[in-house]
Amino acid sequence: MESTLYRHLGAHLVTQDSVAGTKFSVWAPNASEVSVLCDLNSWMHGRHPLNSSDNGVWWGFVPGLKQGDAYKFALRTRDGHLLQKIDPYAFASEVPPKSASIVCDLNGHAWRDRAWIDQRETMNWYEQPVSIYEVHLGSWKRPQDGRQFFNYRELAPLLIDYVKELGYTHIELMPINEFPFDGSWGYQATGYFAPTSRFGSPHDFMEFVDLFHEAGIGVIVDWVPAHFPTDGHSLGSFDGTCLYEHSDPRKGFHPDWGTLIFNYGRDEVRDFLLSSAHFWLDVYHIDGLRVDAVASMLYLDYSRKHGEWVPNMFGGRENLEAIQFLKDMNTLLYQDFPGVLTIAEESTSWGGVSRPVYTGGLGFGMKWDMGWMNDTLRYMRREPIHRGHHQNELSFRMVYAFTENFLLPLSHDEVVHGKQSLLSQMPGDPWQKFANLRLLYGYQYTQPGKKLLFMGGEIAQWTEWNHNVQLDWPLIGQPLHDGVRHLVGDLNRVYRSEPALHQCDNSGEGFRWISADDWQNSVYSYVRQARDPGEFVIIVLNLTPVPRHDYKIGVPTAGFYTELLNTDATVYGGSGQGNAGGVYSQAGVCHGQNQHISLTLPPLGMLVLKPVTGAKLKA
């Protein structure tokens, strides 16, 4: 198993016999000829041929080929056809729609993030706040000077200031590996070792990551080992044979996306993908990989009808080679890069996705809780008058909430393909839509699990995401939209400052219901607790537009409960109903407790209350 092939294969600037040029190595075991195409030879096959070898790697040296020069490989297939292919291990590419690989020396960046890396290596993220702002760099913000995109170096300070203002701990970049089609959003990659040139050079991207680390913000990238596009210049039929993909379309072609599926059982393909995963953390100091479409990798019958898939050697539907690859990948990355995160987008009930490999798990650090997302949005789309008949849709999650290390996503997938923006999905008149959205975010931030919100959600866009235009920044300055943005910032600050809201995210000791069965009022209440039993907060959700007065909640201890956060506060665009900063508990049995508090529950609102140490009881 090899995970650093990028140090050997591909194009590397060298000096050979006092002559500067580029050394090439490319795996193409079934080609009969391979040569380099470039400006030096007028892109003519055969003028710079490579040498064959017993292991299928063709190699050679092209004098005079320098930093920034474009190239491709010309491969003669065994039946005589000539193919032009990009370098699978290229470090840079031409700006699409051009597709040639670019000679690039990745040395030279003086990293300034040693303190960040040292801190990361000792970090237990499971007990720390993890709040992620998901970003599509091409449509977050665009220049007004006629250019299509900002450069990585231009984007960094703009994005850093914004992310710090909102209080996020990490950003997650939708795929920044090179890709030909803008409409794929990067999820159909051609450059597994090249950051997309749309936003600048590899060194520009290094500076982007470095600036985020200096600002104390982690950088996670989406990574796609599940499939790759059929573009003629890419990996498909690379040497005239199915080299990277399965030859049997029942295993090698994805019917949903019209893409090719990697042959995970082939050593060279496995090492290619392991090297790609290792590369981003090694060379670019990335803090984690969110692995896309894991479910499609795990099951041989994923999105296939009877007769359209091939069982494994035991007659089952599990993709044994892909499962082993994922285990190998996670073991490797956590071994070589302590403190990083691998996060699975996995939408099924597969067990142990985020459990260690040595206990039989896949070894991911975290798993997206797609069940939470689906159940919560289904519930929140309902008119409040109907919610009481679906009380279990929110409470059901606690049956499985601690079976994985979950991350709660409100991602780009929920605001595309006609689904509308989150705001537009909410029921009611405009005021109720905003109140419901604030309530949705409050519920997300107080549930066990780490957090993710896609860009645009924080400003409550009316329109669903469009990758061809920037966010609706003119909404800033409009009171209701500003209210949501201010709430997201305060949710992040409360989440980060209160251990009860993050320290026991993956343990049942961090959560207990006060009441989950008040379906008549559509009210939920629960306790979030830190490792210290005395460190807790009370959460109360009113999921109807009807204020509830003198609503009693049983509490664990006597004292004064301060109102840490109220999503109905006027600063957030709410009606301002609440509890004047807090309430004293009173003696009397309620919800199995000997103390209770009487609250005003704001309409479509959430309260976060915390006991104040040393406060005197009201006489």
The tens digit of pLDDT for each residue in 139-173 reads: 999 999 999 999 999 999 999 999 999 999 999 99
Q: What is the rounded CA–CA span in Å between residue 58 and residue 311?
A: 35
Q: DSSP string spanning 431-447?
A: HHHHHHHHHHHHHHHHS
How many CB atoms are located within 10 Å of the residue 15 CB? 10
Segment 98-106 mean pLDDT: 97
Q: What percent of the chain has pLDDT above 70? A: 99
Show the tokens assigned to 511.
């959560």
| Residue 344: per-residue pLDDT | 98
Q: What is the rounded CA–CA span in Å between residue 262 and residue 236?
A: 10
| Residue 164: per-residue pLDDT | 98
The predicted-structure confidence for 401-417, as pLDDT tens digits, reads as follows 999 999 999 999 999 99
* Active-site entry in 345, 369, 375, 464: 345
What's the CA angle centered on 326, arms 320 and 329, to 5 degrees? 140
The predicted-structure confidence for 536-584, as pLDDT tens digits, reads as follows 999 999 999 999 999 999 999 999 999 999 999 999 999 999 999 999 9
Q: Are strands 70-76 and 101-102 parallel, antiparallel or unpaired?
A: antiparallel
Segment 384-404 mean pLDDT: 95
Beta bridge partners of 523: 518, 542
Q: Are strands 70-76 and 82-85 parallel, antiparallel or unpaired?
A: antiparallel
3-class DSSP state for residue 367? strand
Beta bridge partners of 13: 22
Query: Can you list the domains of the chain with their CATH numbers?
Result: 5-102 (2.60.40.10), 508-612 (2.60.40.1180)
Cis upstream peptide for 88 (omega within 30°): no
| Residue 1: per-residue pLDDT | 87
Segment 422-437 mean pLDDT: 98
- Angstrom CA distances, 417 to 135, 182, 243, 450, 601, stand at 18, 15, 33, 26, 36
| Residue 613: per-residue pLDDT | 73
Confidence of residue 619 (pLDDT cuts 50, 70, 90): very low
| Residue 614: per-residue pLDDT | 52
3-class DSSP state for residue 390? helix
The overall average pLDDT reported for the chain is 96
Residue 292 designated active-site: yes
Name the burial class of residue 441, with classes exposed (0-12), middle (13-18) and buried (19+) by CB atoms within 10 angstroms of its CB: buried
Residue type (1 letter), 331: T
**Contact predicate 597/552, CB 8 Å:** yes
* Active-site entry in 239, 245, 271, 292: 292
Segment 301-322 mean pLDDT: 95
The predicted-structure confidence for 266-285, as pLDDT tens digits, reads as follows 999 999 999 999 999 999 99
| Residue 616: per-residue pLDDT | 44
| Residue 21: per-residue pLDDT | 97
Per-residue pLDDT at 73 exceeds 90: yes
Q: What phi and psi values does residue 182 have, to the nearest 5 degrees? A: -55, -35
Q: What percent of the chain has pLDDT above 90? A: 98
Sorted by sequence, the CB contacts under 8 Å of residue 145 that are 6+ apart come out as none
Show the tokens assigned to 373.
């997302």
Per-residue pLDDT at 376 exceeds 80: yes
Residue 69 designated active-site: no
Per-residue pLDDT at 615 exceeds 70: no
Mark out the alpha helices in 288-429 (DSSP H runs): 294-298, 320-336, 370-380, 384-387, 392-395, 422-425
Question: Residues 356-362: contacts with CB within 8 Å, 24+ apart?
Answer: 357/327, 357/330, 357/331, 362/323, 362/326, 362/327, 362/330
Sorted by sequence, the CB contacts under 8 Å of residue 494 that are 6+ apart come out as 445, 501, 564, 565, 608
Which residue carries 């990238």 as its tokens? 221
| Residue 617: per-residue pLDDT | 40
The predicted-structure confidence for 587-604, as pLDDT tens digits, reads as follows 999 999 999 999 999 999
Q: If residue 159 lies in a helix (H) or strand (E), which one and from where to where?
A: helix 152-166
The pTM of this model reads 0.96
Sorted by sequence, the CB contacts under 8 Å of residue 249 that are 6+ apart come out as none
| Residue 54: per-residue pLDDT | 94
The predicted-structure confidence for 503-546, as pLDDT tens digits, reads as follows 999 999 999 999 999 999 999 999 999 999 899 999 999 999 99
Per-residue pLDDT at 190 exceeds 70: yes
Residue type (1 letter), 140: W
